[in-house]
Structure formats: structure tokens, C-alpha cells
């Protein structure tokens, strides 16, 4: 009997990074309808950094959170709608209650991989509303398997029904995936998930290793539409998992058709593994920093690869975008580049 996997399409959330959070209502509706027809079970929607994150610092969404959710909700019949929630960006009173009222089915509450404590109130509240809730540990390459299990156990104690490890920087090698996913699967009584980025060209391979190591939840995006070099390409993910003997419930021809349509209507920028995305993966820097690093490095006349390495040396995480400017200024002063 084939092992069942739960695939989440994160194109309409993580893909938002690739277009500076400017997804239109038509793009949202068209993609949601296409993946609903392909029997994709979960569709994640929102600003790239999640609910409540639209801001000058992180980038303002073309549409508000609730508008995006309403557009996608209208297209979904069997697929469930998910949101990414980072406490600090999303408040319970202002954001989470309203999203639930619109019809969100699954709430994935995320924190930096060593800060699960901040998720307790949001996880508890969402469970009290009768919603399916997962914990998410971001930038998980920055912590040992022992620390990740400690943090995941906290999320399980708060009520999370699964914990997803995010390779937010696309920094994992297959051996890292195997080691950490197995450790969490052994130590938790709830399912484990994996969210890959393709900065080192390993997203599909790492996702396969995650499944082989016991992961139940896998994330993918159409044509890899996501931050940095993109996520695991959803169409390839479905094909590879089926070939490897897993059951996804997703119609292969349907998701291939959705990919073809997305290439014409959704993907203003096609994710590729570039020299700077490789540096993002090697230095372990959040994939969402790719665009601002390239822009600020150009403004200051410095090499973006040097910026990534210095950000990695400092252990910078998502939410510390202001440090990109600081690093670029310092490199410009050191190397005689333009200081503006």
C-alpha cells in the first residue's frame, strides 16, 4: 500500500516574494481554480511573510490579506485554504480572527527555529476555533536536530497537529534533511513536514529524502514560484513522489496543465538558481533576501555575494532586512565603492 503524503501548494504565499508581493486578484483566482481542478489538497495564500506582514520594511502587498483570502476562497471547493502566521506580524485580535471569519481552514504558525515559545498563544487560539493547526520552524538549518526537537515538542504541547521544518535559506544537503527529519519523526507523536528552497538546486531531491525519512507534509510551488531560487517545483514534486511510490491524491495531468497556465499568467519572474541564490544557500541566509540584497548591492557598488557571506557570518534572520543596508554600507566603505 502506498504511503500517503499531504502536499501544500505555497505558490500564492511564498511566490509572492518573487513578484514583490504584487499578485493580482486575477492571478490569485486563476491559479486557485487551476490547482483546485488538479485536486491539490491545500493552498496557502497571503503576503510572502504571512498574515499581517505587508509593510514598508517587508514590502506592501498589492491586495490586503482579507481580499486575497476572499478571492481564493471563492475558487476552492475541495481544496483547503491555509495561511502562514508569524506572531509579531499577525495579531490574534486584528488579523487571525478576521482570517478565520473569511474561511481559512489551516493555520500554520511559524517562528524562528529557536523561538517556538512565541507561537503558544496563536496555536492555542487557532485550535480553540476548531482549526487545523501546524507549527513551522523557519531557518531550521541554524539549529541542531536536538534543539529542533525541543522546539517542536513545545509546539506539540501547545496543540500543533504537525510541525514543518523550513529550509528557508535553501541551505540543506540531503544528509541534513535525513538526519533532522528522522530525529523529529522519532521524537514527536504528530506528523513532520518539510519545506524546501532550491538555492543549491536540491529542492526536489531534499523533499524526496524528507519523505523517505518519514515526513508526511511536503510543500511545493508551481514552476517553483517562490523566494530565492524558488521552492520545490510542484509538478515535479508530484511526479517524483508518485514514481517513488507515494500517494499524493493530485492529478498529474491537471497539475502539469496548471504549470503551463501559470507560466503564462502568474510567473512574471521565473525562479532560477542564480549565482546570488547559490550564495544565499551557501551562506544560510533567508531566501527572501535575494531581491533586496541584489538591489542594495547595486546601489552601493558592492558584490552581492560578499553581502550574502557577511549576512551569513552575522547569523541574520528574516525580519532583519535593515542589516542588508548596514552590511552594504560597510563593504562600500572598506572597498572604495559608492557610498550613497
269 touches 304 (CB < 8 A): no
Q: Are 205 and 172 in contact (CB under 8 A)?
A: no
Q: At what angle do helices 25-37 and 252-265 cross, to 10 degrees?
A: 170
Determine which one of 17, 21, 84, 141 is catalytic: 17
Angle among Cα 60, 23, 12 to the nearest 5 degrees reads 105
What's the length of the chain? Answer: 340
Query: Is residue 39 annotated as a catalytic residue, yes or no?
Result: no
Q: What dihedral do alpha carbons 261, 266, 271, 276 form, nearest 10°?
A: 170
Three-state secondary structure along the chain?
CCEECEEEEEEECHHHHHHCCCCCHHHHHHHHHHHHHCCCCEEEECCCCCCCCCECCCECCCCCHHHHHHHHHCCCCCCEEEEEECECCECHHHHHHHHHHHCCCEEEEEEECCCHHHHHHHHHHHHHCCCEEEEEEECHHHCCHHHHHHHHHHHHHHCCCCEEEECCCCCCCHHHHHHHHHHHHHHCCCCEEEECECCCCCHHHHHHHHHHCCCCEEEEEHHHCCCCCCECEHHHHHHHHHHCCEECCCCHHHHHHHHHHHHHHCCCCCCCCCHHHHHHHHHCCCHHHHHHHHHHHHHHCCCHHHHHHHHHHHCCCCCCCHHHHHHHHHHHHHHCCCCC
> What residues are annotated to the active site?
17
Amino acid at each position: 500500500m502506498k504511503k500517503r503524503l499531504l502536499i501544500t501548494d505555497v505558490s500564492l504565499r511564498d511566490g509572492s516574494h518573487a513578484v514583490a508581493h504584487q499578485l493580482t486578484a486575477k492571478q490569485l483566482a486563476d491559479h486557485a481554480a487551476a490547482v483546485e481542478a488538479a485536486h491539490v489538497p491545500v493552498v496557502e495564500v497571503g503576503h510572502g511573510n504571512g498574515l499581517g506582514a505587508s509593510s514598508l520594511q517587508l514590502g506592501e502587498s498589492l491586495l490586503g490579506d482579507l481580499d486575497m483570502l476572499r478571492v481564493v476562497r471563492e475558487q476552492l471547493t475541495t481544496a483547503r485554504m491555509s495561511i502562514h502566521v508569524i506572531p509579531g506580524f499577525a495579531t490574534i485580535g486584528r488579523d487571525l480572527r478576521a482570517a478565520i471569519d473569511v474561511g481559512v481552514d489551516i493555520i500554520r504558525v511559524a517562528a524562528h527555529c529557536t523561538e517556538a515559545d512565541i507561537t503558544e498563544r496563536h496555536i492555542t487560539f487557532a485550535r480553540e476555533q476548531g482549526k487545523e493547526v501546524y507549527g513551522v520552524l523557519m531557518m531550521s538549518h541554524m539549529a541542531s536536530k536536538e534543539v529542533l526537537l525541543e522546539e517542536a515538542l513545545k509546539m506539540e504541547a501547545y496543540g500543533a497537529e504537525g510541525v514543518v521544518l523550513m529550509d528557508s535559506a535553501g541551505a540543506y544537503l540531503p544528509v541534513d534533511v535525513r538526519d533532522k527529519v528522522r530525529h523529529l519523526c522519532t521524537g514527536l507523536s504528530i506528523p513532520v513536514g518539510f519545506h524546501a528552497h532550491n538555492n543549491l538546486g536540491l529542492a526536489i531531491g531534499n523533499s524526496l529524502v524528507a519523505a523517505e525519512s518519514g515526513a508526511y507534509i511536503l510543500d511545493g510551488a508551481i514552476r517553483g514560484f517562490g523566494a530565492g531560487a524558488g521552492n520545490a517545483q510542484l509538478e515535479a514534486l508530484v511526479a517524483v513522489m508518485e514514481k517513488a511510490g507515494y500517494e499524493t491524491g493530485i492529478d498529474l495531468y491537471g497539475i502539469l496543465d496548471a504549470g503551463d497556465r501559470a507560466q503564462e499568467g502568474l510567473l512574471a519572474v521565473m525562479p532560477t538558481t542564480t549565482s546570488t541564490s547559490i550564495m544565499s544557500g551557501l551562506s544560510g541566509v533567508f531566501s527572501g533576501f535575494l531581491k533586496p540584497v541584489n538591489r542594495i548591492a547595486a546601489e552601493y557598488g558592492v558584490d552581492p555575494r560578499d553581502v550574502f557571506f557577511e549576512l551569513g557570518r552575522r547569523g541574520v534572520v528574516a525580519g532583519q532586512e535593515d542589516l542588508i543596508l548596514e552590511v552594504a554600507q560597510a563593504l562600500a566603505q572598506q572597498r572604495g565603492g559608492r557610498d550613497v
